Amino acid sequence: MKRMIAIFLVIAVLTTMTSCLAIGTGGKKIDDRPTLGQELLDLQKAKEAGAVSQEEYEELKEKLKTKL
C-alpha cells in the first residue's frame, strides 16, 4: 500500500514538473527574423557584390523601409 502511494506521488510530481516546463516559456514568441538594419546591410553587400543592380537596390531598399 505504501509502495502504491509512493508511486502515485512520484507520478504526480513528474506530471506537475512537466506541466510547469511547458508553461514556463510564458507564451513569449521568439522572433528570429533579421532586423531592418541587418537586412539593409545584407542588401548593400549584395549590391557591392554585383548580385543586384543599383535600380534593384533602390527598389528593395524602399520596400524594406516601408515594411516597418
Q: Block means of pLDDT (10 residues each) for the chain, length 68 residues?
A: 67 62 59 87 94 94 86
What total number of domains does the chain contain?
Answer: 1
CA-CA-CA-CA dihedral for 63, 65, 37, 57, to nearest 10:
40
Does residue 55 lie within any of the structural domains?
yes
Position 10 scores a pLDDT of 62
Position 5 scores a pLDDT of 73
- Domain that includes residue 49, residue range: 35-68
Does residue 23 lie within any of the structural domains?
no
d(CA 10, CA 35): 46
Does residue 7 lie within any of the structural domains?
no
User: Global pTM?
Assistant: 0.54
Does residue 66 lie within any of the structural domains?
yes
Position 54 scores a pLDDT of 95
Does residue 20 lie within any of the structural domains?
no
Does residue 57 lie within any of the structural domains?
yes
